Structure 1
Amino acid sequence: MQETLRGSLWMVVAMAGFAIEDSLIKQASTGLPVGEIMAIFGFGGWLGFLLLTWRRGQRALVPEILHPTLLLRAATEIFGRLFFTLSLAYSTLAATSAILQATPLAVTLGAAVFFGERVDWRRWSAILVGFFGVLLILRPLPQSFDPASLLALFGMLGFAGRDLATRAAPPRLSHLQLGVYGFFVLIPTGLGLMLWEGGAVLPSPQQSGWLLATILVGIGAYYALTSAMRLGAVSVVAPFRYSRLLFALILAVLLFGERPDTLTLIGAGIVVASGLFMLRETRHTAPA
């Protein structure tokens, strides 16, 4: 029980860290090209995980790096991170974070389609209800639709694909090694996007501080997440992932003056409730 409590606390710390990381990226995007932010963030994360990998006595370059699943993971990492960062820059933090909470639903759907995992009618219902919540946030009607909100949707689908590819990755690879590869692919992606945006901009001291904080907080949040998933019962620890939305809403209001409307809050609540129901059903239907 003590381990489960520690794991839950680590998960809350991780989600707070990721919410702060998102806020810092949004702050930096007000004066810097999105591609430049991605490249710097990718380099810092790559260097951090490279040092952690070496500290554990693990090799950064292994033959499995060219495994088709790793290449697919790199592609989905690029897709997810690119559109998620664009969403942070051009949409609201509240809506972006709310749509991101649908990732576990998309992962379950993908596991059923690509891995043949059994999903009963209760979980199919949760998936459908959860995506209805996403529609409430997107509001795909001519008079209220914000095209920028699609960026978060594409980012969420990319992250779901990354998680599915991670599950299918060679088991010999550690989380740290996957972190090295995941951050590395952001460097050329960011540089390419930066050139398309018109080139780099010299960061101000304040922007440099935001970028450095983003890297440090991101690495710390990833470490906390890994610690959380290794302690206690996963079925108890995992639901605390949704605390990220609470932190994000608080930061959206305090830092950016956002005021999420009723439909956004209702949609976010539906997505979170669907995800929690899915976790409950998964725990009850898991083989003993």
Structure 2
Amino acid sequence: MMTDNLRAALFMMAGSSAFAVNDTFLKLLGDSLGMFQIITMRGVVVSLVFAALLWTQRATITALTRRDRWFLTLRSGAEMGAAFFFFKALFNMPLATVTAILQVVPLTVAAAAYLFLKEPLGWRRLSAILFGMFGVMLIVRPGTDSFTMASVYALLCVGMVTLRDLTTRVMAKGVPSSMVALTTAVGVMLMGAGGSVTEIWVMPAPVSWVWLGGTVVFTVLGYYLVILAMRTGELTFVAPFRYASLLAALVLGWFVLAEWPAPLTFLGSAIVVATGVYTLYREGRLRRRAMAEKAGLPHAPGEC
């Protein structure tokens, strides 16, 4: 019989892979449409989907506290920045390379939570974070010809995603996920609409409409499956399966986009993934230890 954790792992792998498929469609679109036009057209449809979902839940933003409304605004702003830098990186470097750099996010979130939220961070996890950053340096290789503005955009995207996830962490748990998704989608759409005035809009070719439809379907599918994974299984068990997106990006980049990363990118990616999985494991141990102490139960010794 399939357990909740196994079911959640399958949801997470499918959801993460769906985002990689979405990114492939976006890269294909970048050859025929402007970046902001793509963001705007996709944003309109995705916003309508999440608005319909929110309407079925009868949730309104006025029911939130002022604090949560402010956090929603900050999160949307971070997502807007993340989308902008991600698109700039995606259209100028291999899909798998961009995806590999973004795998460092669990490490940067752990470091930011320690610095700004005073969450505990032992020497083992700190060492894993520093080692993971070394892996990122192998991927972007500063000072070499492979380090371009696209590399800078990818790193800036990591910063924006870290801010987004940190904001999500301090938001009240009662805020509906569909409301968070809707405000984010609307913010990104408005950013795209504002930037699109600098571009000349073109009528998409028939195949471009197919790619656009693909981005909408796989964006919504990715959001839905990842949220479903988080709500079905244990977070510390499920989270490492998000790295399925890197494998999917490698396969899609090779077969669809004719891209193949350099050997050092593979090595750096392996380091980032390994340290990310280890960090998530240590966070799980810390959480279980705190719960045991709260319940008055014994726990295994060891610093987390």
TM-score greater than 0.5 by the shorter chain: yes
Percent identity of the aligned residues?
34
SS at match of 1:67: helix
Residue number in structure 2 paired with 1:92: 94
Cα shift readout 1:121-179 (whole Å, capped 9, x = no counterpart):
11111111111111111110144422212111111211111011111223331111000
SS of structure 2 residue aligned to 1:136? helix
Partner of 1:174: 176
* CA shift for structure 1 position 43: 1.3
Q: Does 1:73 align with 2:72?
A: no
CA deviation after TM superposition for structure 1 residue 87, in Å: 1.2
Match runs of 1:1-288 below 5 Å? 2-59=3-60, 62-64=63-65, 67-196=69-198, 198-286=199-287, 287=290, 288=292
Contact 1:3 1:231 in 2 (8 A): yes
Distance of aligned partners of 1:213 and 1:62 in 2 relative to their CA distance in 1, 3 Å threshold: farther
Paired positions, count: 287
Contact 1:81 1:159 (8 Å CA) reproduced: no
Is this contact kept in 1: 2:85–2:157, CA < 8 A? yes
How far off its partner does 1:61 sit? Answer: 5.6
1:163-202 Cα deviation digits (max 9, x unpaired): 1111122333111100000000011211222222x23121
1:190-226: CA deviation from partner (whole Å, max 9, x where unpaired): 1222222x23121111111111111111101111011
1:83/1:152 contact within 8 Å kept: yes
d(CA) in 2 for partners of 1:139 and 1:170? Answer: 39
Q: Which protein shows a greater Rg? A: 2
Task: Give the TM-score, by structure 2 length.
Answer: 0.90
Structure 1 stretches of 4+ moved >6 Å:
none
Partner SS for 1:119: coil
Deviation at 1:55, TM superposition (A): 1.8
Distance in 2 between residues matched to 1:54 and 1:68, nearest whole Å: 21
Partners in 1 of 2:182 and 2:257 — Cα distance? Answer: 32
Say whether the 8 Å CA contact 1:64–1:170 is kept in structure 2.
no
**Residue 58 of structure 1: how far off its partner (Å):** 2.3
> Which secondary structure does the structure 2 equivalent of 1:31 belong to?
coil
Return closer, same or farther for 1:144/1:28 CA change in 2, 3 Å cut-off.
closer
Letter paired with 1:124 = L
Separation in structure 2 between the aligned mates of residue 104 and residue 178 of structure 1, nearest angstrom: 20
Contact 1:50 1:60 in 2 (8 A): no
Return the letter of the residue paired with 1:190. Answer: G
Q: Specify the code of the residue in structure 2 equivalent to 1:208.
A: W
Q: Secondary structure at the match of 2:120?
A: coil
For residues 229-261 of structure 1, give each alpha carbon's deviation from its aligned partner in whole angstroms, at most 9, with x where no partner exists. 011222211110111100011001111111211
Distance 1:63 1:227 in 2: 23
- Aligned equivalent of 2:295: none
Q: Deviation of residue 60 (structure 1)?
A: 5.6
AA matched with 2:252: L
Give SS of 2:23's match: helix
Determine the C-alpha separation between the residues in 1 that align with 2:172 and 2:137.
Answer: 35
CA contact (8 A) 2:39 2:192 kept: yes
| Distance in 2 (alpha carbons) for counterparts of 1:144 and 1:211 | 30
Return the offset for 1:275. 0.1
Q: Distance in 1 between matches of 2:214 and 2:253?
A: 18
**Quick one: structure 1 residues 110 and 201, their matched pair in 2 at CA, closer, same or farther if it must change by over 3 Å?**
same
